Structure 1
């Protein structure tokens, strides 16, 4: 089995993130540091460690939905010692990690699991998994700005894919938008809104791949139902 796939199945991180961890020299196989991709192992015979901790295949798959508050990072480690979403998950023995990410100042639905294969599927661009956000922005977009948003925007060195955007409410100096995208670039929704001159004031994700957060309270989590898990696996 490829080393990065084994790490994902052990619940360390997604396969792509595991490759980054390998390249950074944090992984050892039978005591030897591995810093290049392409290594294969025999799970029954080889001893793999990450950051000097031996990892083993997870026996039980865990699937969790969290309503992330603002002020938390979705990384498992943070150089600035900020609060981490994993600190909100109490009472389970398995090591889980976030599927994708939500910005420090963005709240809402975050899925966590130790199922590396499902994580790969939900985060790889080729699967085009739709995420739905509620964004409170400055001002009210006009029709021309909405059309630009829907058709794709040039941001930095890339052009976004087509997206959905609708105005839900209009206020005196702001508006509430529903936005649906299937990409997951860093701070993408915020950058898209800024690109049409309506900076985000508040941002919350309410749906991931058709799984809705419902009335789950902020800072709380629950296990996904069997129907929800099966639905995600069939996407």
Structure 2
């Protein structure tokens, strides 16, 4: 691999790049390299003298992508109910701008959540990453938990995985499960990579169980966790790396 030629004057030592990305101390990163646990552009690197251009290489540690771009910024927001998924709204409705006003970078929201849906919404300064994560062809799954009207059958998960016909074409969940069954309402978990407008609500309505509340609990490898509605947090380089890997970058 010519770009990994030892002692080239340009580039940054690999262990320094890893340490700057938060993988560990410089010494710990050297140990990872010597143990053969680091790959650069798919090639195992075991020599400590290797220099790389962080903007031009993909680095994996133990098979997990690590984001080594110091300018990369991705934020996860627990979008509250009533907020529209735009940076500003001509109708004056609450939008995303107030949640990212502290950042000078231009941020792109990854896909959308309708105003009544809460949960994981990603915002990033990487336009290509945003486009790939949102496009169904890359198969990045999202997980939702829906509170629906009625007492659902245990077989509902099978029905959703088999597919549901909607006005704009069929949709099939990659995963679905009934979490709880109540007399008047039930909880259903739905996993899919579709991004059509209000797709989860329309799917559940089509099988006879209208949605009362809907929350997206996970987008690719990023989970909602303990974030309260309206709270944000910056993703770590390791988390951004996992998103890049999921998006095929």
- Shared fold per TM-score greater than 0.5: yes
Name the CA shift for 1:169/1:162 in 2 (closer, same or farther; >3 Å). closer
Task: Look up the match of 2:177.
Answer: 166
Is residue 175–residue 191 contact of structure 2 (8 Å, CA) maintained in 1?
Answer: yes
Partner of residue 231 from structure 1, selected from 211, 230, 242: 242
Among candidates 184, 194, 201, match of residue 190 of structure 1: 201
Q: What is the deviation of 1:192?
A: 0.4
User: Partner residue of 1:220?
Assistant: 231
User: How far has the Cα of 1:229 moved from its partner?
Assistant: 0.3
- Which residue among 112, 116, 124 is the counterpart of 2:135? 124
Among 157, 165, 180, the alignment partner of 1:146 is 157
2:193 is the alignment partner of 1:177: no
Q: Match for 2:93 among 82, 88, 96?
A: 82
Name the CA distance, whole Å, in 2 between partners of 1:90 and 1:79.
Answer: 18
Distance, in Å, in 2 between the alignment partners of 1:115 and 1:63 is: 8
- Structure 2: runs of 5+ lacking an equivalent: 1-69
Q: Output the CA distance in 2 between the equivalents of 1:172 and 1:219.
A: 31
Residues 108 and 162 of structure 1, relative CA distance in 2, 3 Å threshold: closer
For residue 175 of structure 1, report the CA deviation from its aligned partner. 0.5
**What's the TM-score once normalised by structure 2's chain length?**
0.68
Question: In terms of Rg, which structure is larger?
Answer: 2
- Verify the 8 A CA contact 1:152 1:163 in the aligned structure 2: no
- Single out whichever of 224-233 and 86-95 deviates more from structure 2: 86-95
Q: For the residues of structure 2 that align with 1:186 and 1:206, how far apart are their CA atoms? A: 18
Distance 1:81 1:183 in 2: 29
How high is the TM-score relative to the length of structure 1?
Answer: 0.72
Other-structure match for 1:19? none
Quote how far apart the aligned CAs of 1:177 are: 1.1
Name the count of aligned residue pairs.
177
RMSD, aligned CA: 1.5
Q: Distance in 2 between the 1:132 and 1:146 partners?
A: 14
Shift of 1:144: 4.9
Which residue of 2 is the match for residue 14 of structure 1? none
**Superposition deviation, residue 158 in structure 1:** 0.5
CA distance in 1, matches of 2:175, 2:201: 14
